[in-house]
Structure 1
């Protein structure tokens, strides 16, 4: 109880958690770092995707909904300059939190900083349409709101908030596990990993090696996944050191997902949040450089003002009340995946990959400068940064950075290529729009406008070790169809539905 005024605050033993000082540092700085990545991703991509001249312009979206009720700073006015201002503010605030500067002041200072990040990013998500329709957006919002109430170095971490962060991890992991058990048969017969590494939205540099592991190991992977998501989350609420061991299992399984794929900040957020269950003594036992008593080692004060107690308990009660709907959803036969039950996107339902795609279908966009296009024309393929294209190219590791265009390209063959944003994308390629071309890895025309573009679909599979030795190709692809034939600005073929 170092640094504590025993007579005045000893009765707060149930509220203060002095043994979780290191956990608070990881939670606040880690979540802030992921906010930094999210704002950076938005700064670089939002204008081309959703800006004034984007694929799905925000001004037109807001005009179509005059009674738009979702909280956003852009409700009354949007401009690309204002968007950049919001992102710049988010980058500055998140960088300060990563550096730990607001945490040096009174507890309300980091709270206001995290609430600012929450409101700024929610303003973006709520007008982001399909490009921001991912579960990790609401996860980032909920995490930012919650960890703000962990306070500063002038107080002990509030135990109620730590428990609510563990509850968030539980919903994230157990929700994903239940979605899988209720989903495709491949999760129940243990064959899901026969396909996942190959067909996931954006493979990483080790995905092919993971896919080529023997099938018995893939079955063990699935069993391990079920244990990690359906059993281990309950142990996060157990006494120490069991809770810390459970958190370690979460961290290790998420690191395997980081190594074998690109899921933006989803896995990194799970890793950061899992530290809510790691106490200082256990962290010290694993890594001796971490003090066994963080507050004592860093000279942090541990007095908890009554006003801060009142604010934190009010937030805890709010989040506890909002937990009713996601708790009911977890055990519902019609479990929702990545759903929010309130307009502020707090205490949400999470889950992913209830079914696993068995084949990888890739949409390939090509252009030509020929006046009269035909199969013998000089068709050149556009290259994407993360989406598979060139069969010889080693996939890159992008996570936690989020390539939004590449992710939506994965969904096209699962839904339909005849999406509004995709036709807008083709139009931008025909116009050689510089903003859109900057989202790509390779413009085969070096800034010139093609006369025609076409869309073809291919079946992709990872090359075997023998095929790779013989050809140097990491992928083997087979042409399937041409869902959008040659189209130009002068002679558009029109949408095919």
Structure 2
């Protein structure tokens, strides 16, 4: 019996994936640090007691009923801040590798705590937390919890579950593109995407101005990376490591040319689940190819915990697996309350024109001239045509993202009207979410919102005007309004 137990424990551990474990645990924890800090900075103004969509009001109306959240019975901004601070501190300890120095259950408890805390935030975050990478972070945090500590080899079953997550991420995104928009099928999607993506970065314009032949090659490469390569993640080594390298390189290109919060960075981190120590050693000879405990059996109690978690994830995998091959494929959907084993995908359709909502205020009693109006500037979304877009990812500017959806015609669910009201009273918490307040903290008399069509300036237009963007007004979203 001891011989069987020893054999099973040795098979159970994947000692040749130690580098992968370190990348997965520390990388996912680092994203949690960013997520908790960004929530600490933005949540009170967006969703707090006096926010645009107050959580207490949401809960009073029955929101989050039956959802796994610590805030279901009570919410306060003080409690929210405490949750964020605890989450950021625990995540920072995991980045430093401190819990990993203890027994296997210690990092397990730490990551499950992060999962519970962040899941609690997401479940009351309403439209401001309705992004696919929120679910992705929750699922990733739950999975890497079962990678154990430095005392035991990484469980091979968990390594395989991480690859299954990357498969759903990439293959789901590839299938939603092929089903959703003809421009992905005729290879023209990137004629537009770099210019119309939610939040361009400093290199987006240069990517947009590349020749169309390059854009077609980009799309073709994307299809290979998302529709073919994911299957190779489950191939024997070194094929799996090469497949992971393709995923990492394609995601790095997205990091260089856009601001997609932590989606791309987290995908890169997760892709290391398919990279073996031998592959790392081949690239960096100073890194060991094997570890001293690679043949040591894991404690039977730890094996049982991992097997139970694996069985749970396998059972929960049926709905997302079926969704991948469904004609009515869902994008960024969760099939259970705990945000585990979700369906992912992005840009099933590509916007071919970029519209922006520009909010302007005036201190004139009767603003009759254009000079009477001054624009509010957001941190990430385009506004001033001379300003080069910034690099914010993996930080998530939630208000800026929703302004992009608003310009596409999505309903504001009350948050935009609340935003205009906050600006009319010069609410300090709201103004801190912006890059520039043209009235230096003083309330304007009037406010309005206009819609513009934006496009990147060509090389000649850039030389002649000094502008990064060219724009023309297309209409008025909110007529001049004032407080009653």
TM-score (norm. length: structure 2):
0.98
The Cα shift of 1:15 comes to 1.4
Query: Which residue of the partner structure matches residue 275 of structure 1?
Result: 272
**Structure 2 residue 174 is matched with structure 1 residue 188:** no
Of the three residues 470, 473, 481, the one matched with 1:476 is 470
Give the whole-Å Cα distance in 2 for the aligned partners of 1:71 and 1:418.
26
Aligned pairs for 1:40-189 within 5 A? 40-65=37-62, 68-189=65-186
Partners of 2:13 and 2:294 within 8 A in 1: no
**Structure 2 residue 347 is matched with structure 1 residue 350:** no
Give the whole-Å Cα distance in 1 for the aligned partners of 2:54 and 2:355.
28
Q: What number of residue pairs does the alignment pair up?
A: 483
Give the whole-Å Cα distance in 1 for the aligned partners of 2:284 and 2:380.
35
Q: What stretches of structure 1 of length at least 5 have no aligned partner?
A: 491-497
Deviations 1:93-131 (CA, angstroms, capped at 9, x unpaired): 000000000000000000000000000000000000000
Give the whole-Å Cα distance in 1 for the aligned partners of 2:64 and 2:330.
26
Query: Which residue of the partner structure matches residue 494 of structure 1?
Result: none
Aligned pairs for 1:275-354 within 5 A? 275-293=272-290, 295-296=291-292, 302-354=296-348
Secondary structure in structure 2 of the residue aligned to 1:156: coil
Secondary structure in structure 2 of the residue aligned to 1:14: helix
Of the three residues 453, 460, 465, the one matched with 1:466 is 460
Give the whole-Å Cα distance in 2 for the aligned partners of 1:165 and 1:67.
28
Give the whole-Å Cα distance in 2 for the aligned partners of 1:282 and 1:347.
28
Secondary structure in structure 1 of the residue aligned to 2:342: coil
The Cα shift of 1:303 comes to 3.8
Partners of 1:453 and 1:486 within 8 A in 2: yes
Query: Which residue of the partner structure matches residue 370 of structure 1?
Result: 364
**Structure 2 residue 215 is matched with structure 1 residue 221:** no
The Cα shift of 1:193 comes to 0.2
Q: What stretches of structure 2 of length at least 5 have no aligned partner?
A: none
Give the whole-Å Cα distance in 1 for the aligned partners of 2:362 and 2:81.
35
Deviations 1:157-206 (CA, angstroms, capped at 9, x unpaired): 00000000000000000000000000110000000000000000000010
Q: Which moved more, 1:371-380 or 1:83-92?
A: 371-380
Q: Which moved more, 1:79-88 or 1:376-385?
A: 376-385
Partners of 2:10 and 2:297 within 8 A in 1: no
Distance 1:301 1:424, change over 3 A: farther
Partners of 2:8 and 2:297 within 8 A in 1: no
Partners of 2:12 and 2:298 within 8 A in 1: no
Distance 1:15 1:300, change over 3 A: closer
Query: Which residue of the partner structure matches residue 410 of structure 1?
Result: 404
The Cα shift of 1:38 comes to 0.3
Partners of 1:31 and 1:272 within 8 A in 2: yes
The Cα shift of 1:289 comes to 3.0
Deviations 1:39-92 (CA, angstroms, capped at 9, x unpaired): 011000000000000000000000000781111111111110000000000001
Query: Which residue of the partner structure matches residue 30 of structure 1?
Result: 27
Partners of 1:373 and 1:486 within 8 A in 2: no
Partners of 1:154 and 1:303 within 8 A in 2: no
Give the whole-Å Cα distance in 2 for the aligned partners of 1:397 and 1:381.
22
Give the whole-Å Cα distance in 2 for the aligned partners of 1:245 and 1:67.
42
**Structure 2 residue 227 is matched with structure 1 residue 230:** yes
Partners of 1:370 and 1:377 within 8 A in 2: no
Partners of 1:35 and 1:90 within 8 A in 2: yes
The Cα shift of 1:144 comes to 0.2
Partners of 2:115 and 2:141 within 8 A in 1: yes
Give the whole-Å Cα distance in 1 for the aligned partners of 2:324 and 2:449.
40
Give the whole-Å Cα distance in 2 for the aligned partners of 1:480 and 1:196.
21
Deviations 1:130-155 (CA, angstroms, capped at 9, x unpaired): 00000000000000000000000000
Q: CA RMSD for the aligned pairs?
A: 1.4
Give the whole-Å Cα distance in 1 for the aligned partners of 2:394 and 2:197.
16
Secondary structure in structure 1 of the residue aligned to 2:213: helix
TM-score (norm. length: structure 1):
0.95
Partners of 1:192 and 1:222 within 8 A in 2: yes
Give the whole-Å Cα distance in 2 for the aligned partners of 1:466 and 1:349.
43
Partners of 2:261 and 2:395 within 8 A in 1: yes
Query: Which residue of the partner structure matches residue 495 of structure 1?
Result: none
Distance 1:124 1:239, change over 3 A: same
Secondary structure in structure 1 of the residue aligned to 2:355: strand
Give the whole-Å Cα distance in 2 for the aligned partners of 1:248 and 1:67.
40
The Cα shift of 1:291 comes to 1.8
